């Protein structure tokens, strides 16, 4: 096996293992979230490939580390964590219901490999690449990292001659695609509960979330009161579906609420989104020259693409990349797109909401003053929900009363605590000026847009003039070289 020297990961031969795992020939890694993770021989064959090792070069949270300095963990660590939790979950079900469910070693191995490889198809800066960059390059053509994961799994097996049966690989790919394709393949007629473990398209409760919620919270220095161990310990299969004790419904709600809090405070932090918008612009300007998007259908080339694309652009001497290099330099020097303001879309407008564009803001400018162009403005439309859009996620989950019960049932809204929310989705629209001198003009145009759309200003922050008055009242007039000059908001929630 290759040498692993990640600061949080060190391998040694496994010994004194639990009798529930046949791991005498395995290796183990010490993970800073789950402790010792034991890696079976078949999984090691996938791990020791350049395609999987590439995940070390993909930060789990993309550009978030530029705001939360501790968020430098990688897709590699997360994938090992999901592998381990997938194995723990299937072993728990085997221990309690193995005979009645017919869980065999084939099922256990399949679920573990699916957990290991579920994110192997992610691109540079993860969701930024898939959700922000590619849609603007592909003109509406849908591309999903789950589909690339399935292609890369086939590529790894063929390229490295991994001796795994075709039926197992077929099942692994189906499990990886389960979250993006809400209907299971017609060929899946039995043991459908296995598809609920890694990427659950039925109700969103899966070990992928268990790992990243805890891992991301810890990396960003945030508390996390959600405890996935309880759910893994008490879950049962009823009617070919993983169900949960009715008394645990608040623990499940806490899972979704914690995820939503991460989206609000970390994933969609105003500075994080500013940096993401700049990285997307840099990639778009470099795409025609570097052909970044040319390999997204070819796994043999795609695996070579990772977060280091930014360093490639930054250090290249080519004049064709100068605009992209300038944007990256601005990020390095913290000369970011300037946050102007934001508003939350009114609840009664969410159903028919269409993403706000830079053109919408530019067209809302009144005559006089600086004339804004679309390219002067950047807009972020951040959707925050509990995994099921505007629906209550608890409605998609089936529960059981006790361990002797063979009946599953949903818990209707009127039986749930009245302290829980009655709305399950927020849409936050944020507007940025790409040049500092345009902040006032963009802010005014944004206010005009809100008045035109809703008849009121729904924003929650002060206008730039008010911000300046508050800053001067607290710190005195800002000199051109002052640390507070245009940086007061940087102290909110991150660097």
Question: How far from 116 is each of 75, 99, 172, CA to CA, in Å?
Answer: 10, 26, 10
375 in Cβ contact with 313 (< 8 Å)? no
Q: Tell me, yes or no, if 122 is annotated catalytic.
A: no
427 in Cβ contact with 418 (< 8 Å)? no
Query: Could you say which of 118, 145, 155, 269 is catalytic?
Result: 145
Question: How far from 31 is each of 9, 342, 469, CA to CA, in Å?
Answer: 6, 39, 48
Phi, psi of 131 (to 5 degrees): -95, -25
Task: Name the residues annotated as catalytic.
Answer: 145
């Amino acid at each position: 096996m290759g040498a692993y020297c990640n600061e949080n990961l060190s391998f040694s031969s496994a010994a004194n293992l639990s009798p529930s795992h046949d791991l005498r020939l395995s290796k183990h890694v010490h993970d800073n979230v789950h402790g010792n993770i034991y890696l079976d021989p078949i999984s090691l064959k996938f791990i020791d490939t350049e395609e999987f090792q590439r995940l070390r070069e993909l930060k789990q949270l993309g550009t978030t580390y530029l705001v939360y300095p501790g968020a430098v963990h990688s897709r590699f660590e997360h994938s090992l964590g999901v592998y381990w939790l997938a194995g723990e979950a299937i072993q728990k079900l085997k221990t309690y219901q193995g005979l009645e469910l017919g869980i065999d070693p084939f099922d256990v191995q399949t679920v573990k490999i699916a957990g290991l490889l579920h994110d192997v198809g992610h691109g540079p800066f993860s969701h930024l690449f898939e959700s922000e960059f590619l849609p603007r390059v592909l003109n509406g053509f849908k591309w999903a990292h789950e589909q690339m994961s399935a292609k890369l799994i086939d590529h790894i097996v063929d390229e490295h001659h991994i001796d795994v049966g075709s039926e197992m690989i077929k099942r692994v790919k189906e499990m990886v695609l389960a979250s993006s394709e809400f209907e299971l393949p017609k060929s899946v007629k039995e043991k459908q509960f296995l598809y609920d473990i890694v990427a659950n398209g039925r109700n969103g409760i899966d070990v992928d979330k268990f790992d990243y919620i805890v891992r991301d919270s810890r990396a960003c220095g945030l508390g996390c009161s959600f405890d996935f161990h309880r759910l893994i310990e008490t879950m049962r299969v009823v009617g070919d579906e993983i169900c949960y004790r009715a008394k645990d419904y608040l623990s499940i709600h806490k899972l979704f609420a914690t995820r939503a809090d991460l989206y609000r405070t970390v994933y969609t932090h105003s500075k994080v989104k500013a940096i993401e918008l700049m990285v997307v612009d840099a990639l778009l300007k470099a795409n025609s020259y570097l052909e970044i998007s040319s390999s997204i259908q070819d796994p043999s080339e795609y695996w070579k693409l990772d977060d280091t694309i930014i360093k490639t652009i930054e250090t290249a001497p080519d004049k064709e990349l100068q605009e992209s290099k300038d944007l990256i330099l601005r990020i390095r020097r913290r000369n970011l797109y300037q946050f102007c303001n934001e508003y939350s879309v009114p609840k009664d407008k969410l159903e028919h909401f269409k993403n706000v564009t830079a053109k919408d803001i530019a067209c809302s400018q009144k005559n006089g003053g600086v004339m804004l162009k679309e390219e002067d403005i950047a807009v972020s439309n951040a959707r925050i929900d509990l995994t099921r859009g505007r629906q209550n996620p608890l409605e998609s989950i089936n529960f059981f009363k006790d361990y002797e019960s063979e009946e599953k049932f949903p818990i209707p809204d009127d039986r749930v605590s009245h302290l829980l929310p009655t709305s399950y989705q927020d849409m936050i629209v944020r507007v940025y000026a790409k040049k500092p001198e345009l902040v006032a003009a963009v802010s005014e145009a944004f206010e005009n847009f809100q008045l035109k759309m809703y008849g009121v200003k729904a924003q929650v922050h002060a206008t730039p003039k008010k911000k300046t008055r508050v800053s001067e009242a607290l710190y005195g007039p800002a000199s051109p070289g002052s640390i507070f000059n245009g940086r007061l908001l940087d102290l909110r929630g991150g660097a």
